[in-house]
């Protein structure tokens, strides 16, 4: 199963696929890559199709938007990949979708803390940096939640739900942004204090808890990704 | 028994923050030995947290400030900050517990054992090792922070308001766990003397200026606290009972930490007027108000938040002239219900019907989130309040605020009181939805909140108040709702809910003061 593999193996495999998708410009090659990744997610990782479709929505919107530009505004400046407007649009859309699928395959099968540990213990990145980034990742949903609460908690009259565009724009006033900024600053300071008081520093080497050793199957995953990339490159 | 050599010793410590006109804390001395538990009590803003940071070595190394006096440490310090939202740094429960242990280079096997122990008993019992910390409610985050600190096994563990967001059962459980499981020294910072006094060997009481009033064994310190109501510290129910008995000329063995069995034994002989006075002190409840018009009605409301169902088929009516309490364990769905009742969140199923023209004000757990203006004056105007109305409400909470000052220039404790003062002021019909307003409030703040709620009630406004302090809810509210796993599990007048909590028919920890009244035969079972 892909989920059990080393986080760095999954990072490398998805990186190879994203890079390849960004280089090939033939629909069959992109279709092959897309189908293989999709099959891996649906059959091997048993991810529900509806769930994958939801997670792919941003890429679908991006693909639609980009292909629309190539379709309606056929311009030599845009046709770097060659071919007609419709053909270019299809390639660009497919490329975005395949890159999205490869990224999704990595995100769906890898926990952020497993990746952080692998980057620290195997890739030898400094623990302070990795843990700092992890803490920052924690703040993003908290910041989004703060903004949502700020917007929701304005005094409201009657049973309206406050979803009007005007209210949303008003909620982006400098004063509201200042509250968000101050909150983020307070959180960051407190988290930095918390981490340092809990011993995060350059002096003591951290223990290698939950260290994952690189196994043959991890190499196999990377090799499979390279093989798929090679086949796609041949087709492309 | 306490070891002879101190783990940490502070002598004449004073701290002044950059730009401050006076010391945040001054002339404080304290030595802590292994196995010793000391509580720090004092009014809001008296420098308790500052002294703890100085003891932990964070000032001036990590937090800018001038430290005078000496602090000598002989071992590692585990520290849980007051702001539990920012305390957690890992993405998973096990990662959070392991974080400090990894940093200290502990053997991986020992870290696994520590995680298993932390999740097998104590405050974090019930959490899964792979749970995401981001998915936890504030109460569960606080439990995890406590468990992670205790798992460090440090020589000194400092917990700054460790029970502020815990339900009563979890708070009592955490205190009991700490009483039995911490081999090192423990320093607890709390507003609630009722929680700290039974656990602590000694109490350090600071005055409003950050100077030490006394450092003494708990029973002796309680005597001082009882004589200084200006400090705003809450006494344990047993101490309140002892004081009441004293006032009625009854001798009480054990001073303000009386032996419960002896009290129960003596209770049968107490005269009726004493029993009535004790009952009024320990378990006062309010007669329900005459029902006014509905302000908000929720009909079979359900709500999903993320992957879990936060509310399931909740129906209720909040009326004019009514203060309704909302209780329940951590993660029961109280905040979700507040957001729906305030009209801030649309329920996934069911509907909310609000009175025409109703203004709903919600004060969330993070009070900074209600401010969206550059000054308090503008904030008051934005809410339709004349400054004299806002100022009067602020004054009732013990604040004399400058209308030109930015809200964020106030401390978090002040912000909470300002948010409450603004939410409870102004013309009706109004619904105030207050999410854990009692967390971190001292006795003065609680009294002001109670008075403001009752003034609003008399003016025909309504309120929905979340609190883990069921004793306070029973005293203040017309009725109490109890949520459990997103469902309305019980509803009734304060006394009835307390009785149900006591006999286990409501999913709620027995409120300590009410439980004492019951143990003394002042309350009969339902």
Cα–Cα distance measured from residue B386 to residue B72, given in angstroms and rounded to the nearest whole number: 53
Q: What pLDDT digit, counting tens, does each position of A104-145 carry?
A: 999 999 988 889 999 999 998 999 899 888 888 878 888 888
Q: Indicate if B294-519 has the same CATH topology as B6-228.
A: yes
Q: What pLDDT digit, counting tens, does each position of B42-73 carry?
A: 887 789 999 999 999 999 989 999 999 999 99
- Quick one: pLDDT band at residue B1, thresholds 50, 70, 90? very low
For residue B353, the number of C-alpha atoms closer than 13 Å in the C-beta half-sphere is 9
- Give the full edge-to-edge strand order of the sheet including B6-16: B25-33, B6-16, B66-73
Closest CA relative to residue B6, chosen from B70, B65, B53: B70
Phi and psi of B488, rounded to 5°?
-75, 110
Residues near B147 by beta carbon (within 8 Å), at least 6 away in sequence:
B97, B118, B119, B122, B123, B124, B127
Residue in chain B closest to A112 (alpha carbons) equals B91
Residues of B in contact with A178 (CB under 8 A): 374, 408
| Mutation target among A136, A159, A174, A181 for the B interface, most CBs of B within 10 A | A159
Beta strands B185-189 and B156-160: pairing type?
Answer: parallel
Percent of chain A with pLDDT over 90: 44
Domain range annotation of chain B: 6-228, 237-282, 294-519
For residue A195, the number of C-alpha atoms closer than 13 Å in the C-beta half-sphere is 22
Residue in chain A closest to B305 (alpha carbons) equals A145
Say yes or no: A167 contacts chain B, CB-CB below 8 A.
no
Q: What pLDDT digit, counting tens, does each position of B365-374 carry?
A: 888 888 888 8
What pLDDT is attached to residue B181? 64
Beta strands B359-363 and B294-305: pairing type?
Answer: unpaired
Residue in chain A closest to B153 (alpha carbons) equals A198
What pLDDT is attached to residue A156? 54
Cα–Cα distance measured from residue B413 to residue B398, given in angstroms and rounded to the nearest whole number: 12
A169 pLDDT more than 50: yes
Highest mean pLDDT out of A34-38, A155-159, A163-167: A34-38
Say yes or no: A172 contacts chain B, CB-CB below 8 A.
no
Element spanning A141, H or E:
helix A127-152
Q: What is the distance in angstroms between the Cα of A166 and the nearest Cα belonging to chain B? A: 15
Say yes or no: A159 contacts chain B, CB-CB below 8 A.
yes
Question: What average pLDDT does the segment B90-115 reach?
Answer: 93
A161 pLDDT more than 60: no
Question: What average pLDDT does the segment B201-226 reach?
Answer: 92
| Helix ranges (DSSP H) in A24-121 | 27-39, 49-72, 85-109, 112-121
Question: Residues B174, B175, B178, B179: is their CA dihedral positive or negative?
Answer: negative
DSSP helix/strand/coil, B348 = coil
What pLDDT is attached to residue A155? 56
Percent of chain B with pLDDT over 90: 53
Point out the residue among A194, A207, A211 whose CB comes nearest to the CB of B106: A207
B253 pLDDT more than 70: yes
Point out the residue among B112, B346, B359 whose CB comes nearest to the CB of A155: B359
- The CATH superfamily holding the domain B294-519 is P-loop containing nucleotide triphosphate hydrolases (3.40.50.300)
Say yes or no: A84 contacts chain B, CB-CB below 8 A.
no
Q: Concatenate the DSSP letters of all residues of A182-206 into one string.
A: HHHHHHHHHHHHHHHHTT-SSSSPP
Question: What average pLDDT does the segment B82-108 reach?
Answer: 89
Closest CA relative to residue B174, chosen from B186, B55, B419: B186
Please check whether residue B518 is in contact with residue B362, taking contact to mean a CB–CB distance below 8 angstroms.
no
- Quick one: pLDDT band at residue B255, thresholds 50, 70, 90? confident
| Mutation target among A127, A149, A198 for the B interface, most CBs of B within 10 A | A198
Cα–Cα distance measured from residue B355 to residue B293, given in angstroms and rounded to the nearest whole number: 8
> Which tokens sit at A44?
């091997």
What pLDDT is attached to residue B25? 95
User: Counting one residue from A and one from B, how many pairs have CB atoms under 8 Å apart?
Assistant: 163
> Which tokens sit at A128?
């302070």
CATH fold of B6-228 reads Rossmann fold (3.40.50)
Question: What average pLDDT does the segment B391-404 reach?
Answer: 88
- Quick one: pLDDT band at residue A74, thresholds 50, 70, 90? low
Q: What are the beta bridge partners of residue A156?
A: B360
Residue with tokens 């439990």: B143
Please check whether residue B357 is in contact with residue A160, taking contact to mean a CB–CB distance below 8 angstroms.
no
Please check whether residue B255 is in contact with residue B242, taking contact to mean a CB–CB distance below 8 angstroms.
yes
Residues of A in contact with B385 (CB under 8 A): none
What pLDDT is attached to residue A158? 44
Q: Give the single-character DSSP code of A44.
A: I
What pLDDT is attached to residue B524? 61
What pLDDT is attached to residue A154? 66
Determine whether the interchain pair B344/A162 forms a contact, defined as Cβ–Cβ distance below 8 Å. Answer: yes
Residues near B17 by beta carbon (within 8 Å), at least 6 away in sequence:
B24, B50, B64, B65, B66
What pLDDT is attached to residue A97? 97
- Quick one: pLDDT band at residue A160, thresholds 50, 70, 90? very low
Q: What is the distance in angstroms between the Cα of B200 and the nearest Cα belonging to chain A? A: 24
């Amino acid at each position: 199963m892909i989920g059990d593999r080393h986080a760095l193996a999954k990072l490398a495999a998805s990186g190879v696929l994203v890079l390849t998708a960004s280089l090939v410009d033939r629909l069959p090659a992109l279709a092959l890559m897309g189908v293989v990744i999709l099959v891996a997610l649906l059959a091997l990782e048993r991810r529900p199709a509806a769930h994958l479709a939801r997670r792919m929505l941003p890429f679908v919107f991006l693909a639609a938007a980009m292909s629309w530009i190539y379709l309606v505004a056929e311009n030599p400046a845009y046709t770097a990949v060659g071919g007609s407007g419709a053909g270019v649009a299809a390639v660009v859309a497919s490329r975005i979708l395949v890159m999205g699928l490869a990224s999704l395959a990595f995100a769906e099968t890898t926990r952020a803390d497993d990746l952080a540990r692998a980057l620290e213990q195997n890739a030898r990145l400094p623990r302070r940096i990795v843990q700092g980034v992890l803490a920052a990742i924690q703040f993003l949903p908290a910041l989004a939640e703060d903004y949502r609460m700020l917007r929701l908690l304005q005094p409201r009259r009657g049973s309206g739900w406050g979803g009007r565009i005007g209210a949303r724009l008003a909620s982006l006033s400098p004063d509201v942004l200042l509250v968000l900024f101050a909150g983020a600053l307070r959180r960051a300071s407190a988290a930095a204090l918390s981490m340092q008081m809990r011993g995060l520093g350059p002096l003591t080497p951290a223990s290698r808890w939950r260290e994952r050793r690189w196994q043959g199957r991890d190499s196999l995953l990377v090799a499979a990704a390279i093989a798929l990339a090679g086949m796609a490159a041949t087709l492309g | 028994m306490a070891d002879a050599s101190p783990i940490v010793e502070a002598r004449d410590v004073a701290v002044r923050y950059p730009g401050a006109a006076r010391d945040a804390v001054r002339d404080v001395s304290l030595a802590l030995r292994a196995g010793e538990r000391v509580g720090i009590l004092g009014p809001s803003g008296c420098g308790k947290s500052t002294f703890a940071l100085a003891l932990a070595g964070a000032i001036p190394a990590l937090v800018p400030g001038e430290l005078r006096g000496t602090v000598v440490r002989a071992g590692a310090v585990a520290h849980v900050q007051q702001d539990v939202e920012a305390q957690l740094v890992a993405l998973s429960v096990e990662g959070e517990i392991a974080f400090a242990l990894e940093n200290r280079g502990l053997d991986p096997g020992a870290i696994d054992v520590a995680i298993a122990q932390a999740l097998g008993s104590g405050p974090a019992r019930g959490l899964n090792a792979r749970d995401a910390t981001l998915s936890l409610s504030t109460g569960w985050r606080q439990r995890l922070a406590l468990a992670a600190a205790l798992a460090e096994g440090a020589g000194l563990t400092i917990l700054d308001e460790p029970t502020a967001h815990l339900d009563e059962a979890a708070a009592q459980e955490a205190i009991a766990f700490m009483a039995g499981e911490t081999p090192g020294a423990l320093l607890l910072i709390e507003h609630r003397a009722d929680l700290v006094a039974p656990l602590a060997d000694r109490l350090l009481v600071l005055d409003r200026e950050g100077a030490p009033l006394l450092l003494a064994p708990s029973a002796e310190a309680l005597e001082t606290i009882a004589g200084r109501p200006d400090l705003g510290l809450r006494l344990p129910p047993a101490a309140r009972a002892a004081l009441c008995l004293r006032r009625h000329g009854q001798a009480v063995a054990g001073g303000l930490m009386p032996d419960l069995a002896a009290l129960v034994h003596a209770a049968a002989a107490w005269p009726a007027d004493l029993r009535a006075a004790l009952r009024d002190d320990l378990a006062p409840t309010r007669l329900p108000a005459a029902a006014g018009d509905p302000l908000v009605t929720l009909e079979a409301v359900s709500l999903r938040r993320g992957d879990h169902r936060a509310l399931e088929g909740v129906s209720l009516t909040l009326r004019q002239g009514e203060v309704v309490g909302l209780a329940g364990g951590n993660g029961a769905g109280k905040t979700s219900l507040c957001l729906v009742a305030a009209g801030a969140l649309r329920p996934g199923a069911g509907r909310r019907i609000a009175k025409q023209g109703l203004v709903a004000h919600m004060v969330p757990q993070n009070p900074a989130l209600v401010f969206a203006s550059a000054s308090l004056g503008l904030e008051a105007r934005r809410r339709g309040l004349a400054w004299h109305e806002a100022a009067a409400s602020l004054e009732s909470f013990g604040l004399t605020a400058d209308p030109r000052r930015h809200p964020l220039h106030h401390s978090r404790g002040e912000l909470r009181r300002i948010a409450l003062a603004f939410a409870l002021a102004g013309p009706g019909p109004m619904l105030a939805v207050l999410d854990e307003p009692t967390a971190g409030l001292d006795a003065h703040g609680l009294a002001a909140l109670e008075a403001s709620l009752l003034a609003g009630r008399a003016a025909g406004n309504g309120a929905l108040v979340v609190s883990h302090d069921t004793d306070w809810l029973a005293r203040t509210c017309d009725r109490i709702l109890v949520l459990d796993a997103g469902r309305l599990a019980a509803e009734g007048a304060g006394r009835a809910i307390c009785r149900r909590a006591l006999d286990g028919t409501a999913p709620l920890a027995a409120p300590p003061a009410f439980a004492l009244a019951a143990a003394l035969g002042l309350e009969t079972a339902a």
